[in-house]
């Protein structure tokens, strides 16, 4: 049955940046469809609120408070998941931040650049490194990196954020590289590339973003759910190293 192809029932999933925004929507997509969730985030209040809502819908949820720049904490969290659940089926590296403020490169401060690269790129590296060791040992797995449409095109014309653009472009190519490393090991690795979505924190003033999007509106967090299920399930078993763009038509320009 077609529903079986997209099923994640009983699969174990580790998600970073899962407390709010697109991360919460991804967690909902998996939890509503029977996955066992381990949610990792540094915002304890939002993390517990998300877990409570998902548990209220019948999902099995474990929360882990931590930062994706903390290699030891990530490694331990994923090891704890495998010890408790027996395997890691799905890993989503969603945690990410943007530049502190839009600016040209010569105005970017060292600390701002370093923080964006640490979270958006090093955080993906650290999460994937911890997850892939277990996936290789078990002989299967799905890794979904979360990049951006701005990992495939420069945002400077509308939203100049050089650190964000650099980090997300790197995530796209790291995804391709990892996919080739693990293509013969039963592991598929693909990137989700969202456009501009209306979440709790962004964009605060959506006027320019709406005008920039051909559909004339911003993405709704629930609209990331279908793509998440596709990449997390057997529906994408012969797909690896790809970028799945969900942007309301921006990159079709």
Task: Choose the catalytic residue: 40, 164, 182, 212.
Answer: 164
3-state SS class at 93: strand
195: left (phi over 0), alpha (psi -120 to 50) or beta: beta
Q: How far apart are CA 147 and CA 243, in angstroms?
A: 9
Q: List beta partners, residue 219.
A: 197
164 is catalytic: yes
CA distance 41 to 95: 8
CA–CA distance, 13 with 74 (Å, rounded to integer): 14
As a three-state string, the secondary structure of 118-168 is HHHHHHHHHHHHHHHHHHHHHCCEEEEEECCHHHCCCCCCCCCCHHHHHHH
Give the pair of three-digit tokens for residue 83. Answer: 């010890």
Residues 179 and 240: beta-carbon distance below 8 Å? yes
Residues marked active site are found at 164
């Amino acid at each position: 049955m077609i529903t079986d192809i997209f099923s994640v029932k009983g699969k174990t999933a580790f998600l970073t940046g899962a407390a709010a925004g697109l991360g919460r929507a991804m967690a909902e997509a998996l939890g509503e469809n029977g996955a066992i969730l381990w949610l990792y985030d540094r915002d304890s209040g939002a993390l517990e609120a998300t877990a409570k809502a998902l548990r209220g819908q019948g999902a099995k949820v474990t929360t882990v408070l931590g930062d994706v720049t903390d290699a030891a904490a990530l490694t331990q969290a994923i090891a704890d998941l495998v010890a408790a659940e027996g395997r890691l089926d799905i890993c989503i590296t969603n945690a990410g931040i943007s530049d502190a403020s839009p600016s040209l490169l010569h105005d970017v401060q060292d600390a701002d650049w370093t923080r964006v690269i640490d979270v958006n790129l090093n955080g993906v590296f650290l999460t994937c490194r911890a997850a892939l060791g277990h996936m290789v040992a078990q002989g299967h797995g799905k890794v979904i990196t979360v990049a951006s449409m701005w990992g495939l095109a420069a945002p400077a014309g509308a939203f100049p954020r050089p650190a964000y653009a650099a980090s997300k472009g790197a995530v796209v190519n790291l995804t391709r590289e990892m996919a080739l490393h693990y293509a013969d090991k039963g592991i598929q690795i693909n990137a989700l590339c969202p456009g501009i979505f209306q979440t709790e924190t962004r964009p605060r003033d959506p006027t320019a973003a709406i005008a920039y999007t051909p559909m004339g509106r911003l993405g709704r967090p629930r609209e990331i759910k279908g793509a998440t299920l596709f990449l997390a399930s057997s529906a994408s078993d012969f797909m690896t190293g790809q970028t799945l763009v969900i942007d309301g038509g921006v990159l079709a320009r």
